[in-house]
Amino acid sequence: MIASLNGIVAHIESDSVVVEVGGVGLRVYVPAPTRDKMRVGEPAYLFTYLVVREDALTLYGFETKEGEDYFRLLISVDGVGPKTALSVLSTLAPDTVRRAVFNEQADIFSRVPGVGKKTAQKILLYLQDKIKSVGGLEPVSRMSDADSEVLAALTTLGYSVVEAQAAIQSIPRDTPDDVEARLRLALQYFSS
């Protein structure tokens, strides 16, 4: 029904933004990374998805079409509602979701607030067939055991999964599979 909107950010809240379009303020729930980029008074263009319930019309917005596509996929998983799907996309970038699915890493999803192990497994199983059929997405190389341990260590230290993934990707390719050495290099990413 409402596929996108283009307006001025009127207000930013903890989980949503109010975008003024033609004199009407629309509350749009957006992933945290998108919300953090927005500034009051600046223009905003969002791809949107309208959820119609008996007692509410709720608008969800995304910076990219890919974000909206992943949101649609996530809410089609049994037991995953719009708020959980938004939480997943607030914690994990679409590329991280794709990597977790291709690498069969349900534990990545269980690190999202509000997602337990069973739901994480459901998300993984449902998305395996769906993401492979989304155009332009190719399987990515599987994360090594050492990098999985580094990811777990970084998230334990309080870094988000997205930050940890970025730090792991910054590790030079010729670095040995020694967990301590790779963790040291990953931590250097945050200090630079």
61-98 per-position pLDDT tens digit: 999 998 999 999 999 988 899 999 999 999 888 888 88
Give all strands (DSSP E) within 13-145, no chain letters: 16-21, 24-29, 43-52, 57-62
Domain assignment present for residue 182? The answer is yes
User: pLDDT (tens digit, 9 = 90+) per residue, 117-152?
Assistant: 888 888 888 888 777 544 444 444 556 778 888 888
| Total domains in the fold of the chain | 3
Residue 101 structure tokens: 């699915």
| Chain centre to alpha carbon of residue 84 | 11
Domain that holds residue 157: 145-191
Whole-Å CA distances, 126 to 46, 94, 98, 121: 26, 15, 12, 9
- Contact between residue 35 and residue 12 where contact means Cβ atoms under 8 Å apart: yes
Rounded to two decimals, the pTM is 0.68
Cα Rg for the chain, rounded, in angstroms? 18
Do 10 and 51 lie in one domain? The reply is yes
Give a yes or no: residue 139 inside a domain. Answer: no
Residues 169-192 have pLDDT tens digits of 788 878 888 888 888 888 888 886
